[in-house]
Chains A and B, each alone.
Chain A
Amino acid sequence: LAKTTQPISMDSYEGQEVNITCSHNNIATNDYITWYQQFPSQGPRFIIQGYKTKVTNEVASLFIPADRKSSTLSLPRVSLSDTAVYYCLVVIFSGGYNKLIFGAGTRLAVHP
């Protein structure tokens, strides 16, 4: 099981770009990297997923270097509503279903 390590907390200001880096040194060949966002008392919400290089969607970008031992979630121009916990997960595909093991996420606080 690939263990992930990410900062416990980060602070930012409205309008800034936020980059959260996650390390996953023992990621397996078939594993994907996935990021989730969670607001207090709500279920986690999928943000983005990637295998290698760069993936971009309407809310974030995900950068994964060639060795795949780390990944960086980039949130452009954050707002107060981006204050949440962000989880980096390695998705293990096993027998036809996903297995998501949450580690310690990064608590992002966005200030005015």
Chain B
Amino acid sequence: NAGVTQTPKFRVLKTGQSMTLLCAQDMNHEYMYWYRQDPGMGLRLIHYSVGEGTTAKGEVPDGYNVSRLKKQNFLLGLESAAPSQTSVYFCASIPNRSGGLNEQFFGPGTRLTVL
């Protein structure tokens, strides 16, 4: 199993450009998350999904959109990138609700720079 993978690993955008980050997991997990990590602020939740076809807002959703058309994929979109969106983006997943809470499995991250 590859676990949680993220594409791309690095990206540089100009202000106003758009892009999509792809998160894929091969563990049949129900729940998936997108976080951003900024120095001194830990991980902040952008959006999450509790199943195929569902999405919900997290702590810092503005400027981002997401889609979960397939269970294994969770896409994060930036329609008009801004310098404030320069960050490292992490995707994570957990199996499901049954059996109590589980650890989150994290992808390796995507480093995004917006000029």
User: Are A and B a genuine interacting pair, yes or no?
Assistant: no
